[in-house]
């Protein structure tokens, strides 16, 4: 969501304080700026300890890691963990599941916030818009546990749907434990939870489109559909491309909590994604080096995907996630 | 166009003005289908969100007999009672988990907000020493995550397993929130800050007396994001807490609602009459747990909702 772009661009022209933009000595600047550095310090320390340090800890992917020996005491075994991983059918199945779910959500989830935003944008009553926004943003603030609980109560084996079917003499269905339709279920959950929230960016983009464009188009005889096609959609294009890129860059992450919560109900065949695979192989089985290898694979491929997607965005002339500086 | 037959009712002949409808004069009137489909779709969307919440709340407030008669979840409220809540909140697993969640959320939010405000301000003064490399350190965290296993090992080696610190420290900083706040701070006119500095204010004074009072909206939004994050945190608890007695509410929710395990006896759900005789907790009690997990979000939500668009767009579009 965040455009890293403008923040990385040089701001040197707006040198602060006295006019010593380039001239102030290091020592002088330290004396002037130490309170600022002290303010940033806690965050940097926390990121160092809980983000950068563990990142280095990924070396155990190349080790026969033993918790008792630690990183220093464990033997390096090169790429053996990775070789084992690539020969493991369970790993490929998790990878395929992840990609399938991403592709499915790209087709069936991605357009929903755009559609909702277009629909809501065309509602003229401000009060009605505020009401709808207030309601549809809400599920974004629920935890996945809560969302899964609610779905279970609605369409699960003991849920409202099954209960209604049963009392009317039909066969009850339990949509929460069906591996075949699991991909539909998780997409529906994602839409329920986050489609409304995803709308917010599109609404913002819509509000920046100059209304005079619509009036001019109408004067030229464009009907509402042509105005949508020639004004609204081009106005949304940068945001759509940006979010599409972010989604593609995140193709290997489909949401850990949602899957770990439902894995036991539908079984690993359908619900195993890379994140849950890492969790089960690494922590529950206790095979740390192997789990770290799978996690590292995911991290590195994810990073490459983000960079590639961004390069692609520049090629098609959009600003992308971060700009070339 | 001007010679409409006078016999038709006025509303069919006269084009309603822009003041009346909010619709620009050049725009065509919606077709019958358009007029119909919009409320239907939007109504359906609202219903999809609110109906499950409604059913859960009504069931949690229903008596055991009403639940039995409905054969499960209750849609039509009858015989309302707060018995389930009284039972849950009079000590036991849920009460304890609720307390833990509230305290973790309060402490965590305060801590996260404090360090985020400080860092956002520290990185928002253009041209200050090292601010670009430090900003880069923050931004780089967007590109990759350290992975579950190495994170676990670090938390483990710091001795945080089974401690409440493991629920707060690893996720205390959100780079996203930090950038949102920094963008907001950078939008504050530099002249304002310079004038305070001329009056002799140090950085801390500038932050607390000038910047903070101007940034209430963004602080509220970021605070809500952190609070919701801590309240909803389930992953850290699952990973780092082996001790059931330290579970926050989300873990209780998972164990007793999603996994449908039976509440331990004497835990506010069931009165134990002997081993193996404890009945499954009633549906009303289960739904009351769900409601307890929702309520705090519902309570703070309306106060902060109006700031969302502003706060989120700053972070998402401008960067």
User: Cβ contacts (< 8 Å) between A144 and chain B: which residues?
Assistant: 232, 234
ipTM of the complex, rounded to two decimals? 0.85
Please, which pLDDT band fits residue A320 given cuts at 50, 70 and 90?
low
Q: Which residue on chain A is closest to B202 by alpha carbon?
A: A35
Q: Is B259 exposed, middle or buried (0-12, 13-18, 19+ CB in 10 A)?
A: exposed
The alpha-carbon gap from B290 to the nearest alpha carbon of chain A, in Å, equals 7
| Block residue for tokens 């305070």 | B196
Please, which pLDDT band fits residue A5 given cuts at 50, 70 and 90?
very low
pLDDT for position A1:
42
Question: Lowest-pLDDT range, A58-67, A282-291, B269-278, B305-314?
Answer: B269-278
CA dist., res. B134 & res. A305, Å (int): 25
A26-47 and B93-122 helices cross at what angle (nearest 10)? 160
CB contact, 8 Å: B150 with chain A? yes
CA dist., res. A263 & res. A257, Å (int): 10
Cβ contact B233:B105 at 8 Å: no
Of A166, A292, A299, the CB nearest to B144: A299
pLDDT for position B14:
53
Of B151, B232, B319, the CB nearest to A7: B319
The alpha-carbon gap from A297 to the nearest alpha carbon of chain B, in Å, equals 10
| Distance set, CA A243 to CA A198, A225, B48, B145, B217 (Å) | 10, 24, 25, 19, 26
pLDDT for position B54:
95
Q: Is the pLDDT reported for residue A63 higher than 70?
A: yes
CA dist., res. B231 & res. B249, Å (int): 8
Per-residue pLDDT of chain B (319 residues; tens, 9 = 90+): 455 555 555 555 455 666 666 777 777 777 888 788 888 999 999 999 999 999 999 999 998 888 888 888 888 888 888 888 988 888 888 999 999 999 999 999 999 999 999 999 999 988 888 889 999 999 999 888 888 999 999 999 999 999 999 999 999 999 989 998 998 899 888 888 888 888 888 889 999 999 999 998 889 889 988 999 999 999 999 999 998 899 999 999 999 888 888 776 544 444 433 333 334 458 889 999 999 999 999 988 888 777 776 656 555 444 3
Cβ contact B84:B288 at 8 Å: yes
At A33 the three-state DSSP class reads: helix
pLDDT for position A322:
59
CA dist., res. B185 & res. B197, Å (int): 16
At B91 the three-state DSSP class reads: coil
The answer to whether the Cβ–Cβ distance between A144 and B234 falls below 8 Å is: yes
pLDDT for position B63:
87
Cβ contact B125:A260 at 8 Å: no
Q: What are phi and psi of B166, to 5 degrees?
A: -70, -15
Q: Which residue on chain A is closest to B315 by alpha carbon?
A: A2
User: Cβ contacts (< 8 Å) between B316 and chain A: which residues?
Assistant: 1-3, 200-201, 204
CA dist., res. B93 & res. B269, Å (int): 9
| Distance set, CA A179 to CA A104, A228, B167 (Å) | 15, 39, 32
The answer to whether the Cβ–Cβ distance between A37 and B130 falls below 8 Å is: yes
- Give just the sign of the alpha carbon dihedral B131, B134, B136, B141: negative
User: Cβ contacts (< 8 Å) between A310 and chain B: which residues?
Assistant: none
User: Cβ contacts (< 8 Å) between B254 and chain A: which residues?
Assistant: 145, 261
Interface contacts A/B by beta carbons within 8 Å: 315
Q: Which residue on chain A is closest to B139 by alpha carbon?
A: A4
What length does chain B have? 319
User: Cβ contacts (< 8 Å) between B26 and chain A: which residues?
Assistant: 215, 218-219
The answer to whether the Cβ–Cβ distance between A143 and B234 falls below 8 Å is: yes
Cβ contact B121:B211 at 8 Å: yes
pLDDT for position A11:
42
Residues 188-247 in B contacting A (C-alpha not used; CB under 8 Å): 190, 197, 202-204, 207, 228, 231-235, 238-239
Tally of CA atoms within 13 A in the half-sphere of B18 that contains its CB: 4
DSSP code at position A141? G
pLDDT for position A125:
83
Cβ contact A291:A282 at 8 Å: yes
User: Cβ contacts (< 8 Å) between A139 and chain B: which residues?
Assistant: 49
Of A146, A239, A299, the CB nearest to B294: A146
The alpha-carbon gap from A147 to the nearest alpha carbon of chain B, in Å, equals 10
pLDDT in tens, A159-198: 899 989 988 888 888 888 889 899 999 999 999 999 999 9
Cβ contact B53:B294 at 8 Å: yes
pLDDT for position A241:
85
| Distance set, CA A106 to CA A22, A109, A245, B221, B289 (Å) | 48, 6, 11, 29, 34
The answer to whether the Cβ–Cβ distance between A47 and B45 falls below 8 Å is: no
Of A15, A119, A143, the CB nearest to B232: A143
Helix or strand run (H / E) with residue A81: helix A80-86
The alpha-carbon gap from A102 to the nearest alpha carbon of chain B, in Å, equals 18
CA A66 to chain CA centroid, Å, is 33
The answer to whether the Cβ–Cβ distance between B234 and A257 falls below 8 Å is: yes
Question: Lowest-pLDDT range, A23-37, A269-283, B109-123?
Answer: A23-37
| Distance set, CA A59 to CA A55, A64, A71, B147, B148 (Å) | 8, 10, 8, 12, 13
pLDDT in tens, A77-107: 989 999 999 999 999 999 999 999 999 999 9
Cβ contact A121:A206 at 8 Å: yes
Instruction: Report the residue of B20, B76, B120, B148 to disrupt the A interface, i.e. the one with the largest count of A CBs within 10 Å.
Output: B148
The answer to whether the Cβ–Cβ distance between B254 and A261 falls below 8 Å is: yes
Q: Is the pLDDT reported for residue A209 higher than 80?
A: yes
Of A57, A279, A302, the CB nearest to B150: A57
The answer to whether the Cβ–Cβ distance between B144 and A134 falls below 8 Å is: no
CA B286 to chain CA centroid, Å, is 21
Of B48, B130, B238, the CB nearest to A192: B48
CA dist., res. A251 & res. A306, Å (int): 9
pLDDT for position A104:
95
| Block residue for tokens 């489109």 | A209
pLDDT for position B7:
56
């Amino acid at each position: 969501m965040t455009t890293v772009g403008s923040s990385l661009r040089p701001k040197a022209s707006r040198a602060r304080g006295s006019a010593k933009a380039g001239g102030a000595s290091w020592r002088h600047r330290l004396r002037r700026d130490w309170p600022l550095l002290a303010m940033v310090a806690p965050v940097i320390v926390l990121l160092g300890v809980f983000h950068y340090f563990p990142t280095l800890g990924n070396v155990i992917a190349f080790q026969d890691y033993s918790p008792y020996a630690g990183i220093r005491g464990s033997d390096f075994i090169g790429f053996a963990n990775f070789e084992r991983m690539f020969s493991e059918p369970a790993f490929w199945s998790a990878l395929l599941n992840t990609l399938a779910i991403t592709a499915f959500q790209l087709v069936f989830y991605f357009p929903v916030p755009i559609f909702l935003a277009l629909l809501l944008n065309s509602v003229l009553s401000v009060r009605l818009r505020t009401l709808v926004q207030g309601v549809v943003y809400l599920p974004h603030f629920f935890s996945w546990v809560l969302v899964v609980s609610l779905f279970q109560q609605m369409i699960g084996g003991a849920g409202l749907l099954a209960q209604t079917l049963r009392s009317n003499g039909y066969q009850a269905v339990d949509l929460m434990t069906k591996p075949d339709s699991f991909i539909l279920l998780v997409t529906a959950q994602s839409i329920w939870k986050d489609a409304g929230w995803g709308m917010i960016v599109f609404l913002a983009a819509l509000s920046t489109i100059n209304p005079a464009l619509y009036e001019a188009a109408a004067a030229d005889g464009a009907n509402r559909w042509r105005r949508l096609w020639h004004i609204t959609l081009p106005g949304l294009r940068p945001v759509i491309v940006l979010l599409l890129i972010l989604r593609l860059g995140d193709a290997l992450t489909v949401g850990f909590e949602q899957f770990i919560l439902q894995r036991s109900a539908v079984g690993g065949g359908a619900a195993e994604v890379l994140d849950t695979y890492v969790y089960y192989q690494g922590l529950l089985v206790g095979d740390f080096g192997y789990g770290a290898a799978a996690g590292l694979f995911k991290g590195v491929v994810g990073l490459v995907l983000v960079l590639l997607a961004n390069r692609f965005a520049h090629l098609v002339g959009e600003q992308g996630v971060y700009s070339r500086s | 166009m001007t010679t409409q037959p006078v016999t038709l009712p006025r509303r069919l002949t006269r084009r309603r003005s822009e003041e009346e409808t909010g619709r620009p004069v050049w725009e065509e009137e919606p077709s019958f289908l358009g007029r119909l489909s919009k409320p239907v779709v939007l109504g359906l969307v609202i219903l999809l969100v609110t109906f499950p919440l409604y059913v859960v709340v009504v069931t949690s407030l229903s008596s055991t007999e009403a639940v039995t008669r409905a054969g499960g979840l209750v849609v039509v409220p009858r015989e309302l009672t707060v018995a389930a809540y009284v039972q849950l909140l009079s000590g036991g697993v849920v009460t304890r988990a609720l307390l833990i969640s509230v305290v973790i959320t309060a402490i965590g939010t305060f801590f996260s907000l404090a360090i985020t405000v400080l860092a956002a301000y520290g990185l928002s003064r253009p041209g200050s020493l090292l601010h670009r490399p430090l900003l880069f350190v923050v931004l780089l965290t967007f590109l990759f995550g350290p992975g579950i296993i190495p994170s676990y090992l670090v938390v483990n080696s710091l001795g945080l397993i089974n401690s409440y610190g493991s629920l707060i420290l690893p996720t205390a900083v959100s780079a996203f929130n930090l950038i949102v706040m920094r963008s907001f701070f950078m939008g504050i006119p530099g002249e304002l800050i310079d004038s305070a500095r001329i009056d002799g204010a140090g950085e801390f004074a500038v932050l607390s007396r000038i910047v903070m009072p101007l940034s209430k909206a963004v602080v509220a939004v970021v605070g809500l994001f952190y609070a919701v994050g801590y309240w909803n945190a389930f992953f850290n608890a699952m990973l780092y807490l082996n001790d059931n007695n330290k579970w926050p509410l989300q873990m209780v929710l998972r164990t007793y609602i999603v996994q449908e395990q039976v509440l331990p006896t004497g835990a506010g759900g069931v009165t134990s009459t002997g081993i193996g005789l404890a009945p499954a907790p009633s549906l009303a009690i289960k739904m009351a747990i769900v409601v307890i997990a929702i309520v705090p979000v519902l309570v703070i939500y309306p106060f902060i909702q109006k700031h969302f668009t502003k706060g989120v767009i700053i972070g998402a579009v401008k960067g």
